[in-house]
Amino acid sequence: MRQFYKNLSIWLIIALVALFAFNALKQQPEVFHQVPYNVFLKKAETGFLPEVTLTDNVVTWATPDGSKYRSVLPPDHQLIRKLISSNVTLNVEKVDQPPWYLVSILNWLPFVLLFFIWLLFIRKKSDQPGGKAMAFGKSRAKLVDPEHSKVTLDDVAGIEEAKEEVREIVAFLRNPDTFTQAGARIPSGVLLYGEPGTGKTLLAKAIAGEAGVPFFSISGSNFVEMYVGIGASRVRDLFREGKKKAPCILFIDEIDAVGRHRSSGGGAGGNDEREQTLNQLLVEMDGFEANDHVIVVAATNRQDILDPALLRPGRFDRQVMVPLPDVGGREKILQVHAQRTMVAEDVHWQTIAKGTPGFSGAQLANMINEAALLMTRRQAPAIDMEILEAAKDKVLMGAERRSLIITDREKKVTAYHEAGHALVAWMLPGADPVHKVTIIPRGRALGVTMQLPDEERNSQDRTYLTSTLCTLLGGRVAEEIVFNEITTGAGNDIERVSDIARKMVCEWGMSEVAGPLTFRGADPLNGQPGPIISEDTAVMIDREVKNLVQSAYSRARSILLEHRDLLDTISTALLEQETISRQDILTLVEQHSGTHHD
């Protein structure tokens, strides 16, 4: 009905504009030459005018050559008698006046057009999130109708434990009387936390889709405004609307935007608005007035910065961790996203899942999308293993930059750098196996050495971390050995080495001198100072970090010096092929070993 009236108003405006244009064209005036009244009288008296036309106080005539003339008559004149006495034919015409309603429409048309433009502007504002124009205190939550929510728990894969945690909530929303009769109280709030891209928002949509209840969705940043008190008003309005449609779900995404630790001193400015909004949220979730059958589901990547009052039982008394998927989870996620594409029969999802450690659900979905795009560009009938490997490399290492102009020396330095990484990782026990080495620029890197673990690692031992330090330093050491020079190419490697070594000493207790102690620094996000340590302790930490790095550096150097011929062989293969696989490196190592023994 709203669309009907909208179309009707548009057609009415078009009709009025057309009528105005038609009337303007119809009444287009003719072109006349203006003649003074006394000149006109002389022409009439001399018989120069055989015929004239009188219309009100204007007399017009035409000459044989087609020219038209007119003269305006004064109020008091004896023209008619003079014309008749001069034997001039006199034609009298009456001016056709337009209808009164047409004159009124044409006069009011600009105001009507301005009114409709203003009305459309107000309607557009009212359709935007936040309600009608100037209604700052209204909630900006979007209501998802359960009939249109097509996401279910079957669409969520790889987080089975988290799905089990929320099945009770789905059961309660489907049949709340069963739980209330048994004296059970469903959690009023469920907090989904985990790393970005693990599927927290998707899991919340699946809860609403499975339960078949209204689903209000809003971001934490939508509560906070410049004006103090607006956020609290929006929280009240959100819960008021939720109670009207109970049982329902209120989903607050990125709740850390409004749920951070409250300052002890009662800050000023923007903090007042955020803290008032948080206080109102705390009261609405567990205050004097109960929120029966209204479940708040929130998602965040930073559970550690949330206010303790928000996490206590009675509010978010169920906290569900949504972790990164393991191998089996990644395989299921890939299969779910691949249902919308054409996949070849030779695709082994388990192999692809093993080659994507640490990938989140969003990264896996992006990888399938990149594979579909690549399949289209290559005009392939389906996605095969080669296309999936190329898509995985693009997501993991970035797009190839083959147009980048690199000198022969830079290419040679890059080849030895990546060969140093690969050779050290190959010779060290406990290091992740080398999967692929390339000197094709990807992203910001001129070359990449890709390592993939044979099995999932939930914890890292000292041997593995030490091997990682050696592998990261292998590229820098290879440059020094071959070229007796160092470049900026190892900048990121040195940064990662420093970070791992400092964590080994300060957080993981892997230094014999420092012992099993933690030396954490200040936390600027929470505004908390770090522990007080003496100058001697700080010097000891720096010394231990440097010893770890120097020890790894010396070990990597000894490996590369011992296998210098193999380093040259791998570098030559990289310069010729640009990309070598694990099998290629194995072949080179076997050939080199056979030659060496002979």
Residue with tokens 């971001």: 219
Q: Angle at Cα 92 formed by Cα 40 and Cα 61, nearest 5°?
A: 35
Q: How far is CA 199 from the centre of its chain?
A: 15
Q: What is the pLDDT of residue 512?
A: 87
Q: What is the pLDDT of residues 353-403, one digit of tens each?
A: 888 888 888 888 899 999 999 898 888 888 888 888 888 888 877 777 777
219, containing H or E segment:
strand 215-219
Q: What is the pLDDT of residue 176?
A: 75
Q: What is the pLDDT of residues 428-474, one digit of tens each?
A: 988 888 888 988 888 778 888 888 887 777 788 899 999 999 999 99
**Position 180 confidence tier, pLDDT thresholds 50, 70, 90:** confident
Q: What is the pLDDT of residue 4?
A: 56
Q: What is the pLDDT of residues 144-166, one digit of tens each?
A: 665 666 777 777 777 788 888 78
What percent of the chain is modeled with pLDDT above 70? 78
Q: What is the pLDDT of residues 209-228, one digit of tens each?
A: 777 778 888 887 777 766 66
| Dihedral of alpha carbons 365, 370, 373, 378, sign | negative
Question: For residue 143, how many C-alpha atoms fall within 13 Å in the half-sphere facing its CB?
Answer: 15
3-state class (DSSP) for residue 561: helix
Q: What's the mean per-residue pLDDT of the chain?
A: 78
Q: What is the pLDDT of residue 499?
A: 93
pLDDT for residue 269 is more than 50: no
The residue among 289, 186, 313, 190 whose CA lies nearest residue 236 is 289
The residue among 398, 393, 342 whose CA lies nearest residue 372 is 342
Report the topology of domain 327-397.
Helicase, Ruva Protein; domain 3 (1.10.8)
Question: In the sheet that 51-55 helps form, which strands lie side by side, from edge to edge?
Answer: 33-34, 68-72, 58-62, 51-55, 89-93
205's tokens: 């949509």
Q: What is the pLDDT of residue 596?
A: 45
Delimiting residues of CATH 1.20.58.760 domain(s) in the chain: 408-597
List, by residue number, the catalytic residues. 418
Q: What is the pLDDT of residues 548-587, one digit of tens each?
A: 999 999 999 999 999 999 999 999 999 998 889 889 899 9
3-state class (DSSP) for residue 462: helix
pLDDT for residue 501 is more than 90: yes
78's tokens: 């004896």
pLDDT for residue 528 is more than 70: no
Report the topology of domain 142-321.
Rossmann fold (3.40.50)
**Position 266 confidence tier, pLDDT thresholds 50, 70, 90:** very low
The residue among 372, 259, 391 whose CA lies nearest residue 319 is 259
pLDDT for residue 24 is more than 90: no
Least confident of 170-174, 194-198, 237-241: 170-174
Report the topology of domain 408-597.
Methane Monooxygenase Hydroxylase; Chain G, domain 1 (1.20.58)
Delimiting residues of CATH 3.40.50.300 domain(s) in the chain: 142-321
pLDDT for residue 121 is more than 80: no
**Cα–Cα distance measured from residue 495 to residue 305, given in angstroms and rounded to the nearest whole number:** 26
91 vs 415 pLDDT, higher one:
415
Delimiting residues of CATH 1.10.8.60 domain(s) in the chain: 327-397
**pTM (two decimals):** 0.66
**Per-residue pLDDT averaged across 306-323, rounded?**
84
pLDDT for residue 177 is more than 80: no
Least confident of 232-246, 299-313, 408-422: 232-246
Q: What is the pLDDT of residue 231?
A: 77
Give the best-scoring range by mean pLDDT among 108-117, 129-138, 353-362: 353-362
535, containing H or E segment:
helix 535-562
**Pair type for strands 248-253 and 215-219:** parallel
**Cα–Cα distance measured from residue 497 to residue 50, given in angstroms and rounded to the nearest whole number:** 112
pLDDT for residue 273 is more than 90: no
